[in-house]
Structure 1
Amino acid sequence: MDPAPLVLMYHSVDHFREDPHLVTVSPARFERQMAWLRARGLRGVGMGELLDARAAGRDRGLVGLTFDDGYADFATRAVPVLLRYGFGATAFVVSGRIGAHNAWDDGPRKPLMTDGQIRTVADAGIEIGSHGRLHVSLPETDDTELREELEESRARLEDLIGAPVNGFAYPYGHAGDREIEAVRAAGYDYACHIRPDAPSRHAVPRAYIGDRDGPLRMRAKVLRHQLRRGSRL
């Protein structure tokens, strides 16, 4: 997969006082970012739709929108904005933490989507993907734990939404050859990375988006992708 499609990586959309890991975008900033995309003729879509369109040569003007971890604010704050703009997205959910909080972080506690919220956003047309079972760094797992992280998380999510779960996002963006091959062997159609050494369908690079990303920074990130791709979106 070279050049790679343009994919933006979000996490949380919420009001905040402190955000040491820079995972949160304020609701007002998020709304402006979505408006910025639409004003430039770009449409946010989920990863499945983006990759299918790309394979058919119809991905011009499409931008992948991904949201890692499955925060509850995705359902309450992000999805209403996405639907209002006619955008899609993919939410990568930590299956073993549904309805709990981000226990893997040492920052502020954030609630994660419940079963009901996940079903609701899936019914609204949002793609649900796996972000593992417990949000562990996969290179630190043995082969058995790695298989459980990949297979059990997908089975849990498929049972929850009653539909296939085709995508995976590597927790922390940590994945080497072993992990990428394991995701492929587990039957996932694609996987999202952050900055892979060798982009592929199972190591799709993404551009981080945070609360500091106003119009100039958004434009710079889109232009950087266009230059790498060699053509305009």
Structure 2
Amino acid sequence: MTAPYVLMYHSIDHFDEDPYLITIRPGRFAEQMAWLARRGLRGVSVRELLRAPAPGLVGLTFDDAYADFGVHALPVLLRHGFTATVFVVAGRLGGTNDWDPLGPRKPLMDREDVLRAADAGMEIGSHTLTHLRLAGADPFDVEQEVKGSKAVLEEIVGGDVAGLAYPYGDHDADAVEAVRAAGYAYACSINPAGPGPHTLPRTYIGQRDRWLRLHAKRAVHRWKSGRGG
């Protein structure tokens, strides 16, 4: 199966320190979205990308569901007519990224933020309940993380939550099977991943990525996917 082209974002905000390289300044993010638009590419949610794959579609994903998504990312996406998937840590709504021991505490989306994003046309996906690393975890905990987060988010959005992103991009065969058994149609990892809809690879995008690096990353993906340069 040819892997769809999916970009992985986290936080869009101003920053002084960023030890995990998860934050992109709003101006740079706007440049990146404009680059996609100039090339005739359209950013879409993973659900939309898998439903009707086409050469001009690029999946946009935002892990952790930082509150800055609604402030800095959403207006840019809407301006270009783009959609995206926001992967929410369902048990930490309104909390902070406590799983990152270094760097600043960053506020996460609360229930109302999630609803606003969904109402604006964004897909809401799961990033588990607590951001637990699923690979190697106790099977009971894995089941609770993937089933529980799905139930919480489906109650909020009033509909199906089809996708999950593995925290840290880390998964093993047991975690993949648990996600499939919980009823998720797809799950996102990071590159390299494996075949099939429950280990979709993604391309990391960071503050340093301007047009030349964006072009190179897309070319690498197309080469790996067997579509040429």
TM-score by length of 2: 0.97
- Separation in 1 of the partners of 2:22 and 2:71? 17
Do the aligned residues in 2 keep the contact of 1:3 with 1:228 (CA within 8 Å)? no
Q: Give the superposition deviation at 1:197.
A: 4.4
Residue type at the aligned position of 1:61: G
Residue type at the aligned position of 1:36: W
Q: Give the superposition deviation at 1:196.
A: 4.3
- Separation in 2 of the partners of 1:186 and 1:162? 18
Residue type at the aligned position of 1:147: E
Asked if residue 97 in structure 1 is aligned to residue 96 in structure 2, the reply is: no
Do the aligned residues in 2 keep the contact of 1:196 with 1:203 (CA within 8 Å)? no
Three-state SS of the structure 1 residue aligned to 2:115 is: helix
Three-state SS of the structure 2 residue aligned to 1:44 is: strand
The residue number in structure 2 matching 1:163 is: 159
Gaps (5+ residues) in structure 1? none
Asked if residue 188 in structure 1 is aligned to residue 187 in structure 2, the reply is: no
- Separation in 1 of the partners of 2:223 and 2:157? 39
Superimposed CA distance per residue, residues 89-139 of structure 1 (whole angstroms, 9 cap, x where no aligned partner): 000000011001001001210000111111001001000000000001012
Trace 1:113-152 onto structure 2 (pairs within 5 A): 113-152=109-148
- Separation in 1 of the partners of 2:19 and 2:58? 27
Superimposed CA distance per residue, residues 12-69 of structure 1 (whole angstroms, 9 cap, x where no aligned partner): 0000000000000000000000000010010000000000112xxxx12000000000
Cα 1:184–1:214 shift into 2, 3 Å: same
- Compute the RMSD of aligned alpha carbons: 1.2
The residue number in structure 2 matching 1:48 is: 47
Cα 1:128–1:197 shift into 2, 3 Å: closer
The residue number in structure 2 matching 1:198 is: 194
Asked if residue 81 in structure 1 is aligned to residue 80 in structure 2, the reply is: no
Asked if residue 66 in structure 1 is aligned to residue 65 in structure 2, the reply is: no
TM-score by length of 1: 0.95
Q: Give the superposition deviation at 1:198.
A: 2.0
Three-state SS of the structure 2 residue aligned to 1:201 is: coil
- Separation in 1 of the partners of 2:191 and 2:174? 16
- Separation in 1 of the partners of 2:27 and 2:99? 27
Fraction of identical pairs, as percent:
55
- Separation in 2 of the partners of 1:147 and 1:73? 29
- Separation in 1 of the partners of 2:212 and 2:191? 22
Superimposed CA distance per residue, residues 58-84 of structure 1 (whole angstroms, 9 cap, x where no aligned partner): x12000000000100011110110000
- Separation in 2 of the partners of 1:32 and 1:161? 30
Residue type at the aligned position of 1:119: L
The residue number in structure 2 matching 1:222 is: 218
Do the aligned residues in 2 keep the contact of 1:27 with 1:78 (CA within 8 Å)? yes
- Separation in 1 of the partners of 2:142 and 2:222? 35
Residue type at the aligned position of 1:4: A
Gaps (5+ residues) in structure 2? none
The residue number in structure 1 matching 2:175 is: 179
